Structure 1
Amino acid sequence: MTVSLELLDRVRGTLASQGADPTPARVAAALRADGAVFGDSTILEVVEALRREAIGAGPLDRLLTEPGITDVLVNGPNEVYVDRGAGLERIPLRTGDEPSVRRLATRLAAAAGRRLDDSTPYVDVRLPDGTRFHAVLAPIASPGTCLSLRVPSRKVLSLQDLVTAGALPPSGVAILQDLLDARLAFLISGGTGTGKTTLLNSLLSTVPTTERLVIVEDASELRPAHPHVVRLESRPPNNEGTGEITLRDLVRQALRMRPDRLVVGEVRGPEVLDLLIALNTGHEGGCATVHANSAADVPTRLEALGSLAGLTPQAIQSQIASALHAVIHLTRDPTGRRRITEIQAVTLTPRGTITTTPAVLFTPTGAIEEGPASRHLTQLLTRGAAA
């Protein structure tokens, strides 16, 4: 039996008027007071629904634990979409009316220590279970309060798992492993939902256990299977506008923590300058992810981010030239399949500008092709292995 929202509302109202917790005995009494007779299974279902509403994610709770779901989106009352790896699909799940969705949003924000109300109508936080939660209240959002939940992977995939999933050709494992062993500095690029964090998790899990990983993120998502990991997480300002800790602050602190690998979960602001400076001052093997439509767009993307730190295009390009070696790019096809498409080498053009040039191409059929920069990448790998 599925408990109706109307019944839950009535039981909730009865318990609220009594100031009582939703224990099985009190829920049974409230149901009897409602004038109907219910079995033990219904009583336990009501108790569980009220528990989820009080400390979980309400009607979305089961979705956050369902294997295979990576994203849960709520577009106002009773409009819920999930992504199980094949694109978004709408599911028949009732969330209640607009006040119910708003209550859920404000409670989840409060669980992460943030305020969500008309004066601060949007929030982006990490929930205690690691879920990335974003919300925008109505009427700023239409057709109602909108929730976006990015569910963290319950399992860190190995490179072999990516091969099995069709995201990487079998012979591509050795290439990526060589890139790590040579301690080249690299970026993982791609659009939203292409698997950048998943790939970075897999790569970091293969780093020798003798090395210390220091990971800097806005919201803690990286969970590599590695015994020596230190995580630093940024913090937004409080309601009084104080107490903010930025990624730039944390990258600088990370450099004082003797990292063997400095990792930035995602560069999307002026922290790109601090990362590049770190990679230019002896911190080899550093890496990060960046949003970009193609690997060729990465230099331009970094220039735009560098401008936020007050750098000219020429200044950021000079930093890139000596700091970065490669870009690994991922895509997601219309069927939802995520795939590593290429590795491009960061190169200097005759005009003195930075570009990326294809070095290794992974075709949809699983074949590997050499690009114009394949020799350049091989030289970098050889030089790094010999160092």
Structure 2
Amino acid sequence: MFGKRTSFGGNTQSAPPPSRPVEEPRPTPQAEAPAPEARPAPAQQQAKPPREEVMDIHATESAARDKNYFQTKSSIFNALIDSIDLSQLAAMDQISAREEIRDIVAEIIALKNFVMSIAEQEDLLEDICNDVLGYGPLEPLLARDDIADIMVNGAHRCYIEVGGKVKLTNVRFRDDAHLMNVCQRIVSQVGRRVDESSPICDARLPDGSRVNVIAPPLSIDGPALTIRKFKKDKLTLNQLMKFGSISPEGAEVLRVLGRIRANVLISGGTGSGKTTLLNCLTAFIEKDERVITCEDSAELQLQQPHVVRLETRPPNLEGEGEITMRELVRNCLRMRPERIIVGEVRGSEAFDLLQAMNTGHDGSMGTLHANSPREALSRLESMITMGGFALPSRTIREMIVSSIDVIVQAARLRDGSRRITHISEVLGMEGDVIVTQDVFLYDILGEDAAGNLLGRHRSTGITKPNFTEKARYFNEEAALVDALERANVEHMDMMR
């Protein structure tokens, strides 16, 4: 099938001498232990070398192994590209293409007389398959469902977040050019590019995972790649309850809010789980509702059949062709939406979203960065003001009050856990101040021996919040009142 496969067969005379590319180098004399028969030395001479010196030796050995490995891999990779028909490879399914590449690489290793163990050869085969068909060294990390974030700081440092904690991995790229090739492959899938003339790029993976790339000269120590991974199985409110992110009674209140078409703003810091929570709330949208989503990078995974997904577009090389979030939100109003979902409110689109919520598009939702419900309202006001709207502060606040029903606050705590800390409703105005009322709160009670924070969700004692009227209209009042009363009884029992 691959007519060029034998093209490297005649080059065996000029092949490099046999080598063991991943063989560990001989320890340096300074690192060798003294011979047993050596005369005892003073205590000062018998002391172990400083930790920094040992680390430097290990780092040198690791760098030498990496250099040998990448040289061998580069030689085999170049021979593979010369011998394979990429157009025919692209027409094959993933499994068949991977098997074909493995066969050819094994043949190249035999012809070029590389000497390596079966385990070393297997690692090399897997790496080359990932380079040709996937995202290179990132493939093993992308395959793991327990990783929340992948952070690549240049070619030789890659961190991951697992269980809320950031850890350094042994994933390495050959050099910055190798890393840039992987970045380019990712962003090209969504019609974007990243290079010196356009060094910042937002993109997404096929599963919706968010990708950000910033390249030199803006990134001084090499390209920086950040991937916010999505789980293969979409999280639900039931799973959030199992994780302790929300209590059963709080989850029932959130379910009711999704069903009764309340206008919800989800607030939280970076990595607090705002998009995940928004996905959970959209699960309660009725199947027959027309939903339109607006995002910078399409991340939301709505399950309803009648969904229109819109995505912003950056400017081209000439600085033209940009489509902003505000333009998308304004265009939504001409598309007969029943709900508008904004992935993240960052600027003047806040004004148009509030207008939509206030003009018959009940049940619209969005997220923004803020550390508390009160701060979220202030940020909304600031975004509208910075958008160039010459409106008095009181007018903007009245618009916020008439548009937003509930603010749900998510937080990432210092032990890495994510919790819903507030469910707050917007009541109205007292003078020039917006009045809010907490329905559910999360209290931190302490921490265990492992450093994990201990806390509990509690009701504030309110049994009939302002959105009870909406719940009655959608026949959800009984479920709402029951959840709040159960939460109040549980809180009183704990107080005793």
Asked if these proteins are the same fold (TM beyond 0.5), I'd say: yes
2:248 partner SS: coil
Q: In the aligned structure 1, how far is the partner of 2:170 from the partner of 2:117?
A: 26
Match of residue 52 from structure 1: 130
Q: 1:100 aligns with which of 170, 175, 178?
A: 178
Which SS does the other structure have where 1:134 is aligned? Answer: strand
SS in 2 for 1:278: helix
1:33 and 1:130 map into 2 onto residues whose CA distance is: 42
Match of 1:153 in 2: 231
Q: What is the CA–CA distance in structure 1 between the aligned matches of 2:116 and 2:348, rounded to whole Å?
A: 59
Partner residue of 1:208?
286
How far apart are residue 135 of structure 1 and its match? 1.2
RCO greater where, 1 or 2, for CA within 8 Å and sep 6 or more? Answer: 1
Give the C-alpha shift of residue 192 in structure 1. 0.9
TM-score, normalised via structure 2 length: 0.71
Residue 101 (structure 2) pairs with residue 14 (structure 1): no
> Relative to structure 2, which stretch is displaced further, 285-294 or 124-133?
124-133
- Tell me: CA distance 1:90–1:39, structure 2 relative to 1, closer, same or farther (3 Å): closer
- SS in structure 2 at match of 1:161: helix
What do residues 208-234 of structure 1 show as CA deviations (whole Å, max 9, x unaligned)? 223232211111111133333221122
Q: Does 1:366 align with 2:456?
A: yes
Pick aligned residue for 1:331 from 400, 407, 411: 411
2:469 maps to 382
Q: Point out the more displaced range, 234-243 or 83-92.
A: 234-243
Matched residue, 1:287: 365
Deviations 1:303-337, CA, capped at 9 Å, x for gaps? 22112321244443232121111100011111211
Q: Counterparts of 1:129-148 in structure 2 under 5 Å? A: 129-148=207-226
Q: TM-score, normalised by structure 1?
A: 0.90
- Using the alignment, how far apart are the partners of 1:383 and 1:221 within structure 2? 29
Tell me which moved more, 102-111 or 302-311: 102-111
Alignment: residue pair count = 384
Other-structure match for 1:121:
199
Q: 2:48 aligns to what?
A: none
The structural deviation recorded for 1:36 is 1.8
The 3-state SS of whatever aligns with 2:465 is helix
User: Which of the numbers 303, 310, 313 marks the counterpart of 1:235?
Assistant: 313
More off after superposition, 166-175 vs 237-246 = 237-246
Matched-pair contact (CA < 8 Å) for 2:186–2:204: no
Alpha-carbon distance between aligned partners in 2 of 1:44 and 1:226, rounded to the nearest angstrom: 43
Pairing 1:350-361 to 2, within 5 Å after superposition = 350-361=430-441
Q: Name 2:299's counterpart in structure 1.
A: 221
- Cα gap change, 1:159/1:346 in structure 2, threshold over 3 Å: closer, same or farther? same
Asked if the contact 2:250–2:440 (Cα under 8 Å) also holds between the matched residues in 1, the reply is: no
For the residue of structure 2 that corresponds to 1:346, the secondary structure is strand
- Give the structure 2 partner of residue 191 of structure 1: 269
Partner residue of 2:146? 68
Among the aligned pairs, what percent are the same residue? 35
- The runs of 5 or more residues in structure 1 that have no matched partner are none
For 1:176, which of 244, 248, 254 is the aligned residue? 254
- Once residues 121 and 220 of structure 1 are traced to their aligned partners in structure 2, the CA distance between those partners, rounded to angstroms, is 21
147-156 vs 46-55, which deviates more?
Answer: 46-55
CA contact (8 A) 1:215 1:232 kept: yes
Match of 2:91 in 1: none
Q: Does the aligned pair in 1 maintain the 2:394–2:432 contact within 8 Å? A: no
1:272 equivalent among 350, 360, 367: 350
**Structure-1 separation of matches of 2:434 and 2:387:** 19
Which whole-Å CA distance do the structure 2 matches of 1:109 and 1:257 have between them?
A: 29
Taking the aligned partners of 2:151 and 2:368, their CA distance within structure 1 comes to 23
| Structure 1 residue 16 displacement after superposition | 4.3
Q: 1:344 aligns with which of 400, 424, 436?
A: 424
Q: Are the aligned partners of 1:234 and 1:246 in contact in 2 as well (CA < 8 Å)?
A: yes
Question: Which stretch shifts more, 173-182 or 21-30?
Answer: 21-30
Q: Distance in 2 between matches of 1:195 and 1:28?
A: 45
Question: Which one has a bigger Cα radius of gyration?
Answer: 2
Aligned twin of 1:82: 160
Aligned counterpart, 2:29 = none
Q: Which amino acid aligns with 1:186?
A: V
Higher percent of residues as helix: 2
Q: Contact 1:181–1:385 at 8 Å: present in 2 too?
A: no
Q: Shift of the alpha carbon at 1:39?
A: 7.6
Q: 1:257 to 1:99 in 2, by over 3 A?
A: same
Q: Distance in 2 between matches of 1:202 and 1:386?
A: 23
Q: Secondary structure at the match of 2:407?
A: strand
The amino acid that maps onto 2:78 is G
Q: Which moved more, 1:104-113 or 1:161-170?
A: 104-113
CA contact (8 A) 1:220 1:231 kept: yes
**Structure-2 separation of matches of 1:214 and 1:120:** 30
Distance 1:107 1:189 in 2: 33
Query: Which moved further from structure 2: 223-232 or 270-279?
Result: 223-232
Q: Structure 1 residue 164 and structure 2 residue 251: aligned?
A: no
Match of 2:379 among 294, 297, 301: 301
Partners of 2:436 and 2:264 in 1: CA distance: 12
Q: CA deviation at 1:58?
A: 0.9
Instruction: Encode CA deviations 1:78-135: one digit per residue, 9 max, x unaligned.
Output: 2111112322111122222223223322332333322211111221112334222111
Structure 2 CA distance for partners of 1:143 and 1:260, relative to 1, 3 Å: same
* Alignment check: 8 A CA contact 2:427 2:466 kept: no
Partners of 1:181 and 1:107 in 2: CA distance: 41
Amino acid at match of 2:433: T
RMSD over aligned CA atoms reads 2.6
